[in-house]
Amino acid sequence: MTSIRFTLFFVVLLSAPMAWSQASNATVRGAVTDAQHALIPNAKVTLLNTATGVGRESVTNNAGLYVFPAITPGPYRLRVAMPGLQTFEGTLTVQVQQDSTVDIVLQVATANTIVDVVDVTPLIKVDSPSLGSSLERQRIEQLPVNGRGYQNLLVMVPGIQWSSHGHGIGGMVRGNGLRNGSNTLVVDGAPQNEVWEGWDVARTPSLDAVEEIRVEVNNSSAKFSRPTSVIMSTRAGTNQYHGVLFYTNRNSAYGVARRREDNFTKPPYVNRNEYGVSLGGPVNIPKLYNGTNRTFFFWNWESTNFLANTTTRMSVPTAEMRNGDYRGLVDVQGRRTTIYDPLTTQANWSRLPMTFNGVTNMINPARISPVAKFLFDRTAMPNLPNVNPLIDANWIGTFRRPLEQDTRNIRVDHRFSDKNLVYFRYAYNQHFEQYGATSAPFLPVNDFRTINQTTRWWPNHALSGTWIHTFSPTLNNEILISGMRDWHNRGAGDNKTNYSALLGLPNPFGAVNFPTINGMSLGVAGADYVIGGEQPFFLVSNLITAQDNAVKVAGKHEFNFGLQFRWEDVPKSIVSAAGNFNTGTQATGLYDTTSTPQNPIGTPFSGHPMANLYLGQMNYAATFRRPWAFLRRQEYAPYIQDNWKVSQRLTLNLGLRYEFRTPLNDRNGLLTSFSPEKRAYVVGSSVDNFLDRQATLPANLRALTNFGGKIITAQEAGLSNSLVTNNWKQFGPRIGFAYKALSGSKAFVIRGGYRISYYTQPIADWFGSQQNQQIVSASFQNSVSDTALSPDGLPNYGLRTVPQYFAGVNTSNNDIININDTRTIARGFSAIQIDPYLRDPKVQDMNLTVEKEIFDNMVVRLAYVGNRTTNILQTVNLNESIPDYIWHTTRRTPLPTGEFAGVARRPYDQQVYGSVNRLSSPGYASWNGFQAELERRFSKGFGFQMFWVSGNTLGTTGTIQQADNFLPNAIPLDERDRNRFLNFQRDPNTPKHQFRWNWIADIPVGKGKAFGGNLRGFVDKIVGGWQIAGTGNFRSNYYTLPTNNYPTGNPIEQYGEKYPIEDCRSGVCFPGFLYFNGYIPANQINSVNAQGKPNGVMGVPANYKPAAAPLIPWGSTTLPPNAPANTVLSQFWDTNNVWVPLNNNTVQRLAFNDNLVPWRNQYMAAPNQWFLDASLFKFTNITEKVALRLNIDFFNVLNNPNNPT
């Protein structure tokens, strides 16, 4: 989609850059020699910030070295003087956390010596093995960004991927295939990530408030706490007042093209307004205080109002279904489903077909349930009425996604003296949005959009202060204290309405969520008819950090050392839930008389959940959850780093960081775990404490005791109250080098290193062990599908009985789910063990880099980059039910029935416990790749950067299943070997190839330019002085091979865009491409109906042969082994059904699934994608002190639609 954005800036008293900052600081260092390369001690070195007039002085030591630590980003003048030698002066731009090494050669002074001022900003890093990129103010200001979040600028950083909230603001950054949580965002030294999932705070500082951004991706020094760091330095006041007023608009009225999946003639409405103001300068109070050269301020406010409407697809009930007409229940093969009347159920489990006025598959409209009527009345009618909703989406429309954001930032810098600098910053940001693509067809409930729509409010406060003290030219210290409060309210609904009561459904806990109603079997995955909404919750991240960082220069050594402390407090609400309510009761199905009375199943193509919904037939559930968790932990991290200038050519970087984190704990002692050895839940305090704090229910505990389960304390389990042992072994060494090889035009730098670092797994990944532990999260049910709750102890009770309850008619009484009756809790208490030796993920990364300046202002970089992560969190199954196919095949017996049906097939415990899992850290992943980069610093009207990154991320992901889930001898028994065998795979989210580029260029039109060089006055202001900038991005993609079919022996053939096709199976033809030779039923290849209208996949080539197919493909005539002779095989076409003989002389029909589909974890190349954005902009002076800046941004400027992946 192409879009255009107009931006208007008024800039008052155009300013120089910022004053001081803190942890975004850098170091300026170097050696001073004479013409014979002899080191010069005691030379006077001065570094002056040309924006603030603040300077610092030093002298070279006995090794001829000088160091200026804690230098804030900005423009500087470097001066070196020594009696008898020519004075040197150079300009230097210091960038965020990017140390500058400037080696200076002093020539012999003569009587006619003239000091030449040259730009000495280094192009090549000559003192460190780290890999990263700096985004200076010019590119932040001039490159096109679709949304005013810094994440949109990361396109300029090799090896970086990021996720977005969906508005181009906010995100989660990953470097070179690392996992979520491995990054940190630091704004002026203060962390700005919430620790729940690892996202940046919802609204990061306004781009107008950002001076520079540094992204450290690989082999950072010991001072850095995480594998990937984004260091942001905000702008500060200078000796000159300056301000900016801006307004930006993006609107669908201009420059929008249709996406491939859109079917509109007018594009969906999109309107984004961004506006703000900033002001900075010295703090001057007339007649009271003059802050010039001493005290500075910078204030910024920015607001965003964004309304996007995006196309989405969904299946919704047809008009006929809403009126009780279910004659349209026809699948893609034309097979009709018959529904049966549950009120006609006989003692032998037979039923009569549903009829109304003598017409089969018609339901008397008077029998519609209140719940079905409520939902149908609030669901849009199909706007593609010719599409069969069982096959494809019959409603296409737009969903509304509003966003409101606001950010305020103020910063004050003060110089007490040349040796004492302080700074304070306070920011307040807020974020409000509503989202949910599947909410589109639904009307509001009580004037609030709640069905399938999430509302999020996300304010954030941040405060930080820094004191930089210079003890001597060789000793400098920095103290930073910061605090952050990130407050998050998210969920569907208004947080007060009892929506279940509106529907007439049970809600014994008074939950305020809109209940999930699912199982309707209408539509395809991702576009099916499901009712619900995200469970409302509150989440707070309180964060306090304190750091002391020092730099000491001794001889050829520059020592960086310090201590960093971090305190996290994370309250999280865990509210009880109404639902879910499932319509898969088989109330309109028919008992298959060929199955066994001990394991009754339904007749194929009988009954449908949509008819069940119409009649109000559901399974009912309500979930109790503990109300709050108050999680806390601390982190202590001393470090030391020695940057050792071994010689003029060689620098060694030796560092060590030690990190100790306390395990996550609950303020109220409400942590839970499980002891497989003692077959008991483990709690961090006492059962009475859980009851007193309403973290469990008496009925839940009674059920556990009645079943034979128990609860023990942490001490009885041999654990501390945190349930996890302390890890005292998190040492993170760093070793690196940088070597300047050869001289003159042949000179180049080779550098590299190795690092070990750690990061915290996002709390959300771990929290399921606390939220879903059944003693604090009990599910109470009224179900006709759960064998353990069946009155006769046999499966599928709803298939064989006359219904007792009708949704919305006699279900509003909460006694339908009696939370005081332990019979509503089935055997099979779920339990999760937290591994007592749970460890933080550990990252080892390395690189070897060669850099060379090939022309003036142009450098080329080549690098090998690698990393390996261990201790990644994974779940290990210990007590899952043995799958149906494995059970029948290995034991040749029917499935267990009765009270113990839910536990009898489990390998660890067959009486009390259901799913028992261990939360452990056996996972691992690695990334290895190459980078090639060419960069030209902006000079003579042109600058660019382009880079190619190629690599693979391979690792283990997902659950480690127990061996009992597979056939004997099919998988390794050793847990580590089994993990690799089952879960080792490619990460499809990390592209194998990525090529990105960006540029800035002067347009040679206007006064003094190649074209129109004689233009003057108003004409020159209009046509002259324009610049153009842009960014481009090309990436490869992967898709996962399907696992619902089995290889046929034909090779996989990828066609790409060679064969355009139309899929007409739903009743309407949709265009696309036959990307590879997946399965298409033979009767649907280029097929037409009796009237000659296409009803299959049109355009399939004559040589098409599927590489995979179901075990019973369409048209099969040979009965599978053990199938009864009277089997109507056409009922099972396009399925993987098999018939397994049992020891009781019966045959069990079920789907084949040995959990080892040959194409599991297999990926193929998907369509590549590329984008190109551009920006046209200029500055025009209105008066001497007021300028106008005009931006026109073009997104996807070449209108490349990009096939979806």
pLDDT tens digit string along 874-885?
Answer: 999 999 999 999
970 has pLDDT over 60: yes
Q: By residue range, what is the domain housing residue 90?
A: 26-119
830-848: pLDDT as tens digits: 999 999 999 999 999 999 9
Q: Which residues contact 421 (CB under 8 A, 6 or more apart)?
A: 20, 54, 413, 414, 415, 467, 468
Confidence of residue 264 (pLDDT cuts 50, 70, 90): low
- Per-residue CA distances from 782 to 789, 815, 932, 1026, 1043 (Å): 8, 10, 62, 70, 34
- What pLDDT does 115 receive? 55
By CB atoms closer than 10 A (0-12, 13-18, 19+), residue 347 is exposed
Spatial contact of 739 and 834, defined as CB atoms under 8 Å apart: no
910-921: pLDDT as tens digits: 999 999 999 999
Range with lowest mean pLDDT among 254-268, 408-422, 554-568, 828-842:
254-268
- What pLDDT does 15 receive? 35
Total count of domains within the chain: 2
Per-position DSSP letters for 657-687, written without gaps between them: EE-EEPPPEETTS--EEEETTTTEEEESS-H
Are 146 and 234 part of one and the same domain? yes
- Pairs from 688-696 (Cβ < 8 Å, separation ≥ 24): 690/626, 690/775, 690/776, 693/626, 693/668, 694/626, 694/627, 695/626, 695/627, 695/670, 695/776, 696/626, 696/775, 696/776, 696/778
Confidence of residue 671 (pLDDT cuts 50, 70, 90): very high
Spatial contact of 817 and 779, defined as CB atoms under 8 Å apart: no
Spatial contact of 525 and 544, defined as CB atoms under 8 Å apart: no
Alpha helices in 509-590 (DSSP H): none
Residue 57 lies in a domain: yes
Range with lowest mean pLDDT among 306-315, 362-371, 377-386:
306-315
962 has pLDDT over 90: yes
Are 8 and 142 part of one and the same domain? yes
Mean pLDDT of 309-322: 93
What token pair was written down for 868? 């390996």
Residue of 754, 1032, 775 lying closest to 130 (CA atoms) = 754
Are 74 and 144 part of one and the same domain? no
Cα four-point dihedral sign 95, 97, 103, 104: positive
Residue 197 lies in a domain: yes
Q: What is the DSSP letter of 818?
A: -
Are 153 and 103 part of one and the same domain? no
22 has pLDDT over 70: no
The span from the CA of 820 to the CA of 8, in Å, is: 65
Are 174 and 47 part of one and the same domain? no
By CB atoms closer than 10 A (0-12, 13-18, 19+), residue 960 is buried
Residue 143 lies in a domain: yes
Spatial contact of 203 and 403, defined as CB atoms under 8 Å apart: no
Are 99 and 140 part of one and the same domain? no
- What pLDDT does 252 receive? 76
- Percentage, residues of the chain above pLDDT 70: 95
343-360: pLDDT as tens digits: 999 999 999 999 999 999
- Per-residue CA distances from 1033 to 141, 259, 995, 1057 (Å): 19, 19, 6, 21
Tokens 């996604």 sit on residue: 401
Last residue of a domain, one of 92, 119, 146: 119
Amino acid at 1098: M
Residue 314 lies in a domain: no
Give the domain CATH number at 225.
2.170.130.10
Residue 508 lies in a domain: no
Spatial contact of 389 and 315, defined as CB atoms under 8 Å apart: yes
Cα four-point dihedral sign 469, 471, 476, 478: negative
- What pLDDT does 1182 receive? 75
Q: Say how far residue 205 (Cα) sits from the centre of its chain.
A: 20
- What pLDDT does 385 receive? 94
- What pLDDT does 17 receive? 35
Mean pLDDT of 799-826: 90
The span from the CA of 755 to the CA of 408, in Å, is: 37
Confidence of residue 168 (pLDDT cuts 50, 70, 90): low
- What pLDDT does 714 receive? 96
479-516: pLDDT as tens digits: 999 999 999 999 998 888 999 999 999 999 999 999 99
Please give the residue that has the higher pLDDT: either 877 or 137: 877
Report which secondary-structure segment, H or E, holds 766. Answer: helix 763-771
Are 8 and 148 part of one and the same domain? yes
Are 110 and 163 part of one and the same domain? no
The span from the CA of 120 to the CA of 104, in Å, is: 9
Last residue of a domain, one of 99, 119, 139: 119
Last residue of a domain, one of 57, 87, 119: 119
Mean pLDDT of 33-54: 85
Residue 208 lies in a domain: yes
Confidence of residue 109 (pLDDT cuts 50, 70, 90): confident
Alpha helices in 777-933 (DSSP H): 884-891
Confidence of residue 167 (pLDDT cuts 50, 70, 90): low
Are 83 and 154 part of one and the same domain? no
Spatial contact of 752 and 851, defined as CB atoms under 8 Å apart: no
Residue 205 lies in a domain: yes
697-721: pLDDT as tens digits: 999 999 999 999 999 999 999 999 9
The span from the CA of 183 to the CA of 175, in Å, is: 8
- What pLDDT does 35 receive? 78
Q: Which residues on adjacent β-strands are paired with residue 250?
A: 5, 272
- Per-residue CA distances from 864 to 288, 349, 752, 867 (Å): 59, 69, 9, 11
The span from the CA of 648 to the CA of 208, in Å, is: 40
Amino acid at 523: G
What token pair was written down for 998? 């960006």
45 has pLDDT over 60: yes
Mean pLDDT of 77-93: 87
Residue 887 lies in a domain: no
Residue of 281, 355, 292, 280 lying closest to 324 (CA atoms) = 355
Give the chain's mean pLDDT: 90
Mean pLDDT of 672-698: 96
Q: Which residues contact 519 (CB under 8 A, 6 or more apart)?
A: 582, 583, 584, 609
Confidence of residue 894 (pLDDT cuts 50, 70, 90): very high
Report which secondary-structure segment, H or E, holds 372. Answer: helix 370-377
Please give the residue that has the higher pLDDT: either 78 or 364: 364
- What pLDDT does 928 receive? 96
- Percentage, residues of the chain above pLDDT 90: 65
Residue of 188, 199, 95 lying closest to 151 (CA atoms) = 199
Range with lowest mean pLDDT among 72-81, 423-432, 854-863, 972-981:
72-81
Are 137 and 111 part of one and the same domain? no
- Cis peptide leading into 580, omega within 30 of 0? yes
1148-1167: pLDDT as tens digits: 999 999 999 999 999 999 99
What's the predicted TM-score (pTM) here? 0.88
Confidence of residue 1076 (pLDDT cuts 50, 70, 90): very high
The span from the CA of 821 to the CA of 698, in Å, is: 10
Are 96 and 166 part of one and the same domain? no
Are 190 and 107 part of one and the same domain? no
Spatial contact of 7 and 1190, defined as CB atoms under 8 Å apart: yes
Tokens 């803190």 sit on residue: 22
Q: Which residues on adjacent β-strands are paired with residue 1073?
A: 1060
Range with lowest mean pLDDT among 115-124, 651-660, 879-888, 893-902:
115-124
- What pLDDT does 265 receive? 61
Spatial contact of 49 and 76, defined as CB atoms under 8 Å apart: yes
Per-position DSSP letters for 884-927, written without gaps between them: HHHHHHHH-SPPP-STTTTTTT-SS-SSSEEEEEEEEEEEEEEE
Mean pLDDT of 202-220: 89
745 has pLDDT over 60: yes
Mean pLDDT of 1059-1081: 94
Residue of 450, 512, 449, 459 lying closest to 487 (CA atoms) = 459
Mean pLDDT of 808-816: 89
Give the domain CATH number at 68.
2.60.40.10
- What pLDDT does 110 receive? 63
